[in-house]
Amino acid sequence: MGSIKLLFLSPEVNPGNRKATSVPILNPFDKYGRVFFFSWLGFMVAFLSWYAFPPLLTVTIRKDLNMTQTEVANSNIVALLATLLVRFVAGPLCDRFGPRLVFIGLLLVGSIPTVMAGLVTNANGLIALRFFVGILGGTFVPCQVWCTGFFDKKIVGTANSLAAGWGNAGGGITYFVIPAVFDSLVHSQGLSAHKAWRVAYVVPFIIIVVIAVAMLFTCDDTPTGKWSERHLWAEENKGLEGNIVDIQSGVSTARPSRAPSTTNIVADPEKKGSPSPPASVAPMSGQLEALRADTVVAPTFKEAMNVLVSLSTAAVAIPYACSFGAELAINSILGDYYADNFPYMGQTQTGQWAAMFGLLNVICRPAGGFIADILYRYTQSVWSKKLLLSFLGLGMGAFQIAMGFSDPKSEATMFGLTAGLAFFLEACNGANFAVVPHVHPFANGIVSGAVGGMGNLGGIIFAIIFRYNGVHYARSFWIIGVIAIAANLAVAWVRPVPRSQMV
């Protein structure tokens, strides 16, 4: 019963970093619950729009624009290219301006090409449009950085995986929403298919703008206030003397009686260096150093490059390229694969079955983060999270190979293997971002951006594999499975937390 109450009540807060030690999933009135709510909702509507074209590309758009199989595949690849670029840029932007503003900016910028679908008249126009709509995929980075800033490390895996998993479900929801809007415009409003699919994309545009404006006016940058003042808490946290915090476990003994004053210390938030703490804080210098390490800064170019080329960063980025990359590529072709193996299904039915792969994110991705947090709680070692990540990655590859070699012609076999693949693949995504907050926490935006960007790079590589194998979808599946197993084994030995960060 106590665990259920945590879903509604305002969370206990670690007084050392002001991060919540539970996730108030059902309490959007609390500032932590509100940030969690808009993190997953903002990413969901972005994903819904980002993947709004594949559900109608199976028949309607392809026929209206006279698109070939190669042109459809090219549009799927291009849709991932802009996201790849944006995710790498979004990481440093989050560290400098804060994830909330970056999130809002990407939503508003990405909504513009979404509503311009009505201007498309040929295949090249659609390919160009999908490139700019891909900006919305970059919202994943501020989604994860924002959650990491509000939730303590002992439950950050659960928070991140819930936000990302529910957000990723937009890739499944779009298979229901967009065809439903299209069918309504055709059958209820009397529009021709030529006009209806163009008008349908006005709906996600309206939703995105409303969510972005709500985020702007109702949410905070950090638990302690403005992004520009985020360093002041660690420097002025005199309450540490009376509230001893286990920095490694994130367990606090008491809640501070008042919010910190920000008038006694002046710090430049854009510089990694900071003034010395007051004398009264000096006895807690060890804990203050740990708190500083957990405070996001704007790293120099050299520091940023050191983070990007770190083996520990690669050890989470490469598995994510295989897991999330495969998810992106599979989301684009799954409806076509079902139509190829089960030709008696129409566009709407194949789309609905394909939607299940994305919708399973609601359960499977959070499961990966939740299990990772449980293992961490019992072992107090990030290695437990890392081993879970490797295990899930290998299981994912095994299911892809099984689908590829069996090429199921039975609905039960096909959908069963797809569900099994969804669990391992999506849980792998969740476990990955349970590890990410431990890797170079002072540059969490850069690490999150690099990992998210690699996810898209994997998506592009796998989409190219699907493109060159044409309608031989099964062959592409086992090739991707072999790559996934090899890549996960290659980085399984890498230390999850850089040796330089070990206390």
pLDDT tens figures, 1-40? 556 777 778 889 988 888 999 999 988 899 999 999 999 9
Q: Is the pLDDT of residue 498 over 90?
A: no
Q: CATH no. for residue 50?
A: 1.20.1250.20
Mean pLDDT confidence for 200-214: 95
As a whole number, the mean pLDDT across the chain is 85
Let me know if residue 185 belongs to a domain. yes
Q: Is the pLDDT of residue 147 over 50?
A: yes
Who contacts 261 (Cβ-Cβ below 8 Å, separation ≥6)?
236
Let me know if residue 143 belongs to a domain. yes
Q: Which amino acid is at 30?
A: D
Let me know if residue 464 belongs to a domain. yes
According to the model, what pLDDT value does residue 289 have? 44
Look up the domain containing 361 and give its range.
23-222+303-498
How is residue 233 written in tokens?
A: 């808490």
For residues 481 and 479, give the distance between their C-alpha atoms in angstroms, rounded to a whole number. 5
Reference 331, options 112, 55, 117, 10; nearest CA is 55
CB 99 within 8 A of CB 145: yes
* Structural domain total, the chain: 1
According to the model, what pLDDT value does residue 237 have? 60
Q: Is the pLDDT of residue 287 over 70?
A: no
pLDDT band at 226 (very low <50, low <70, confident <90, very high): confident
CB 146 within 8 A of CB 15: no
pLDDT band at 260 (very low <50, low <70, confident <90, very high): very low
According to the model, what pLDDT value does residue 500 have? 67
How is residue 310 written in tokens?
A: 């770190």
Q: Is the pLDDT of residue 233 over 70?
A: no
**Total Cβ atoms within 10 A of residue 66:** 9
Mean pLDDT confidence for 355-360: 91
Q: Can you spell out the DSSP letters for 208-254? A: HHHHHHHHHHH--SBTTB-GGGHHHHHHH-GGGGTS-EETTTTEES-
For residues 469 and 399, give the distance between their C-alpha atoms in angstroms, rounded to a whole number. 19
Dihedral over Cα of 214, 218, 223, 227: its sign = positive
Residue 402 CA neighbour count, 13 Å, CB half: 15
According to the model, what pLDDT value does residue 332 have? 87
Q: Is the pLDDT of residue 265 over 70?
A: no
For residues 503 and 494, give the distance between their C-alpha atoms in angstroms, rounded to a whole number. 18
CB 87 within 8 A of CB 141: yes
Q: Which amino acid is at 343?
A: P
Let me know if residue 263 belongs to a domain. no
Let me know if residue 318 belongs to a domain. yes
Let me know if residue 423 belongs to a domain. yes
pLDDT band at 228 (very low <50, low <70, confident <90, very high): confident
> Which 8-state DSSP code applies to residue 14?
E
CB 50 within 8 A of CB 147: no
For residues 156 and 150, give the distance between their C-alpha atoms in angstroms, rounded to a whole number. 9
Q: Is the pLDDT of residue 263 over 80?
A: no
H/E stretch holding 467 reads helix 444-469
Which of residues 195 and 258 earns the better pLDDT score? 195
How is residue 371 written in tokens?
A: 């299990």
Flag the least confident range among 127-136, 221-230, 408-417. Answer: 221-230
Query: Nearest 5 degrees, angle CA 18-CA 369-CA 208?
Result: 75
pLDDT band at 502 (very low <50, low <70, confident <90, very high): low
According to the model, what pLDDT value does residue 306 have? 87
Flag the least confident range among 216-230, 243-257, 454-468. Answer: 243-257
Let me know if residue 463 belongs to a domain. yes
Let me know if residue 354 belongs to a domain. yes
> Which 8-state DSSP code applies to residue 261?
P
Q: Cα-flanking dihedrals φ and ψ of residue 70, to 5°?
A: -65, -40
Q: In Å, how far from its chain's centre is CA 278?
A: 39
According to the model, what pLDDT value does residue 297 have? 61
